[in-house]
Amino acid sequence: MKDILDEKDKRLHEKSLDVTFPLKDEDKKTINDIIELLTNSQIPELAEKYNLRPGMGLAAIQLGIKKRYFVVVHEYDEGKFDNYVIINPKIISTSEEMIYVGEGEGCLSVNREVCGIVPRHARITLEAYDMDGNKIKVRGREELAIAFQHEIDHLNGILFVDHIDKKNPFKNKDLYREI
């Protein structure tokens, strides 16, 4: 698998392009590699063995592939994972309620501690396509909703650090619920 781009790489600030179907074999392989990487990174013994930073999601652009797809591997129970392969996503609804990650969001492309609030919708519904080109509708709440919004930002050339107010990183904290 290709190396994950660092935040200094200009490609991370470019908008990714829609994927056409059928999916190319190289994209299928990349998606399966991402699933394996993200799963292993969330299993402490494997993360240590392979020297992986824990990660829940990865967008194609983070590997230098300028295509609108991402993968989220969500550990919903100890050692149990749901894999979300999201291609050409569109947000079709969001909650009014806003939340943020108390200890701060992280990103496999941002190799430093970042403090501050990234306001996110508590619930989100996406329309997208699966690997076979079938239209799907996916809902996320809380942590999963944050992951979806974080990865969609990547597809639009936005990093989570871009959302944090530089002068006042905890601006409007009282307006959002911490998770």
Three-state SS sequence of 76-118: EECCEEEEEEEEEEEEEEECCCEEECCCCCCECCECCCCCCCC
| Res. 105: pLDDT tops 90 | yes
Q: Which two tokens stand for residue 179?
A: 């998770």
Would you state the pLDDT for residue 109? 97
| Predicted confidence (pLDDT) at residue 97 exceeds the cutoff of 80 | yes
What confidence tens digit (pLDDT) does each residue in 120-134 have?
999 999 999 999 999
Alpha-carbon distance of 114 to 111, in angstroms, equals 9
Going along the chain from its start, the domains and CATH numbers come out as 10-178 (3.90.45.10)
| Whether the predicted pLDDT of 3 surpasses 80 | yes
The residue type at 172? N
For residue 1, pLDDT beyond 80: no
The phi and psi torsions of 89 (rounded to 5 degrees) equal -70, 150
Q: What is the mean pLDDT of residues 75-81?
A: 92
- 83, with CB counted inside 10 A (0-12, 13-18, 19+), is middle
Cα separation of 130 and 85, whole Å? Answer: 6
CA distance 84 to 82: 7
75 given a catalytic annotation: no
The pairing of beta strand 80-94 with beta strand 123-129: antiparallel
Please report which confidence band the pLDDT of residue 92 belongs to, taking 50, 70 and 90 as the band edges: very high
Q: How many C-alpha atoms does 65 have within 13 Å on its Cβ side? A: 22
Give the rounded distance of the alpha carbon of 175 from its chain centre: 24
Task: List C-alpha distances in Å: 103 to 113, 117, 170, 172.
Answer: 10, 9, 12, 16
- The residue annotated as part of the active site, out of 127, 143, 151, 178, is 151
14-73 confidence digits (pLDDT tens): 999 999 999 999 999 999 999 999 999 999 999 999 999 999 999 999 999 999 999 999
Average pLDDT (70-91) is 96
Calpha distance 59→32 (Å, rounded):
13
Determine the length of the chain: 179
**pLDDT confidence of residue 59:** 98
Question: Sorting pLDDT into bands at 50, 70 and 90, what band is 174?
Answer: very high
